[in-house]
Amino acid sequence: MLPLPRSWSLRPGPPFRLDADSEIDAGPGTEDTARWLSATVGAATGLPLPVRDGSAPGVRLRLDARTERSLGPEGYLLESGPAGVTLTGGGPAGLFWAAQTLRQLLGPAAYRRAPVRRDAVWTVPPVVIEDAPRFRWRGLMLDVARHFLPKDGVLRYLDLMAAHKMNTLHLHLTDDQGWRVQIRRYPRLTEVGGWRPRSRVGLTSSPLWDERPHGGYYTQDDVREIVAYAADRHITVVPEIDMPAHSQAAIAAHPELGVGDVVDTAAVEVWTEWGLSPNVLAPSDTVLRFYEHVLEEILELFPGPYVHIGGDECPMGQWRASPSVQARRTALGLPDEVALQHWLNRHFAEWLAERGRRPAAWDEIMDRRSPASGAGAQAAAWADTGAAFGAVSGAVRADVRPDARPSAESDLPPATTVLSWRGTAGGVAAVRAGHTAVMCPEEHLYLDHRQAAEGEPVPIGYVRTLADVYRFEPVPAGLTEEEAGRVAGAQGNAWSEALETPQRLDYQVFPRLAALAEVTWSDLPAPAERDVAEFEARMAGHRARLDALGVDHRRPGGPLPWQRRPGVPGRPMA
């Protein structure tokens, strides 16, 4: 089983046989899971699996919120014997995860969309499984801004997440290279910002170009469908509208948003480069009102508690050179551009909190200016990182907050959630300030990064193998019990500069997402004590499920011939 359940034991006696006479007995409140089981497992097995309130042998679904078993809202109890299977959820989500476990017990063929063999025998071993997740945020971020993933691809990934008991999909909807969500009030955001004339193949230093225009966006009905589909699978969708950096597509559509007294914003186009653009939003009242209007529509579309406002990697060059921006900074009584960015991000965090939402942002939202003595080393580190992206982006990255550090002193709304990508320091600062943190450090959980030192399709970033992800621990050492309780979980980030097709996305995400699913669900020992060999043995069986689902995952021996990208340069890091 994967992820590994909290406890399980075999019962004596024969297995239960699921057959043409089997029914689904749906108790009150279980109808949604019953329909999912009948449709999904029914399609794979070819069995009718009618949903009835009857006594025929089959699958019995119940909700039980009593605390004596301490199931919790996402916990469940699965009991199987020769007379049938009973799934008991501590809440609707727990019941749905129990149904996912039942599907695993039926074997890899239960993951297909139609029967492979009409004479197949479907059995469930006699077991008792009691299970509940360790973390409440078990996430995947899909970057649909750099390379657009059409709606059907998002729906497919929601099914893949559900199969792994993951419950949070973070959609990176806007960036320099594209704006991917329809905003009725501002149609130019998608009419102009949703398309770029060409795309670089590989990372920024690559001489290769795909000269085809690239783009696309989700209509508001597309978004409603995605959100409803996710809700049926007990997955929360977190939208990200990035600001004040990563905003060139918005500026191309609406030049009034940029720093117009420094650059000719009317000449700005949707960016065709990767890396980080120097064009950022102006900290003006025009920008505040514009993005408030955008967020009003985002709140209508995404009813979940979280809205992500970006806040990362803001180059300060245009702000420093702009008389209007400097006048705004002085009028606000702010000492520097780092404080000005924090003011802007805090404005939107408070705006969201006032409307009952939980603002989320990358860990730069915790930054404060550090003493000058530490600036040189940090600036050099940014410059080294930037150089790997290419000369243009490297120069911009060297200008990004070179002497700012995460601080545990916070004036943000208490409900703010911080996603810690620059290591775990930002998350540690957040939980010590009383906020919630989600761990997604680049050096561990960036799934676009390479999986071996040699032979990867587009070698990006650090080498992080399946075993490396399995050894990741979301709770850093040194936290108190109270602080550790504010670590909501972890997520894998799939940045898409080099993930231009669903096949490329599959290769980078799987099977490492399966390892992260277990890290965030199961009560595992300390990283050094985790039984990687045992996990990889279970992964051998799980790969058959991925094959049945049509996932073009990375095999243990490396990329298959069609997964290779010979001659496409990446950005390997030590």
Tell me the per-residue pLDDT of 449-464, one tens digit each, with 9 for 90 and over: 999 999 999 999 999 9
Q: Is the pLDDT of residue 371 over 50?
A: no
Q: Is 176 exposed, middle or buried (0-12, 13-18, 19+ CB in 10 A)?
A: buried
Within 10 Å of residue 238's Cβ, how many Cβ atoms? Answer: 24
pLDDT score for 397: 61
How many other CB atoms sit within 10 Å of the CB of residue 318? 22
Other Cβ atoms closer than 10 A to 289: 10
pLDDT digits (tens, 9 = 90+) for 189-221: 999 999 999 999 998 789 999 999 999 999 999
- List 23, 222, 313, 448, catalytic entry: 313
- Known active-site residue 175: yes
pLDDT bin (cut points 50, 70, 90) of residue 56 is: confident
Give the Cα separation of 522 and 538 in Å (integer): 14
Residue 393 pLDDT grade (very low, low, confident, very high; cuts 50, 70, 90): low
Give 118's DSSP letter: T
Alpha carbon distance 34, 489 (integer Å): 29
Predicted confidence (pLDDT) at residue 333 exceeds the cutoff of 80: yes
Distances (CA, A) of 190 to 154, 196, 234, 241, 517: 19, 11, 29, 13, 34
Q: Provide mean pLDDT across the span 487-513.
A: 98
**Does 246 participate in catalysis according to the annotation?**
yes
- Which pair of tokens denotes residue 537? 């043995």
Q: Is 60 helix (H, G, I), strand (E, B) or coil?
A: strand
Average model confidence (pLDDT) for the chain?
93
**Does the pLDDT at position 255 exceed 80?**
yes
Q: Give the Cα separation of 45 and 47 in Å (integer).
A: 5
**Active-site annotation holder among 25, 175, 222, 367:** 175
Say whether 384 is catalytic. Answer: no
Backbone angles phi, psi at 9, to 5 degrees: -150, 145
CA angle (235 as vertex; 546, 441 as ends), nearest 5: 75
Q: Which two tokens stand for residue 338?
A: 């780092």
Neighbours of 537 (CB within 10 A): 11
pLDDT band, very low/low/confident/very high, at 171 (cuts 50, 70, 90): very high
In whole angstroms, give the CA distance from residue 151 to residue 507.
19
Which is catalytic among the residues 170, 234, 246, 542? 246
- Cα dihedral sign for 153, 158, 163, 165? positive
Q: How confident is the model at residue 17 (pLDDT cuts 50, 70, 90)?
A: very high
Element holding 268 (H helix, E strand) = none
Return the percentage of the chain with pLDDT > 90, whole number: 87
404-428 pLDDT, tens digit per residue, is: 677 778 899 999 999 999 999 999 9
Type of residue at 243: M
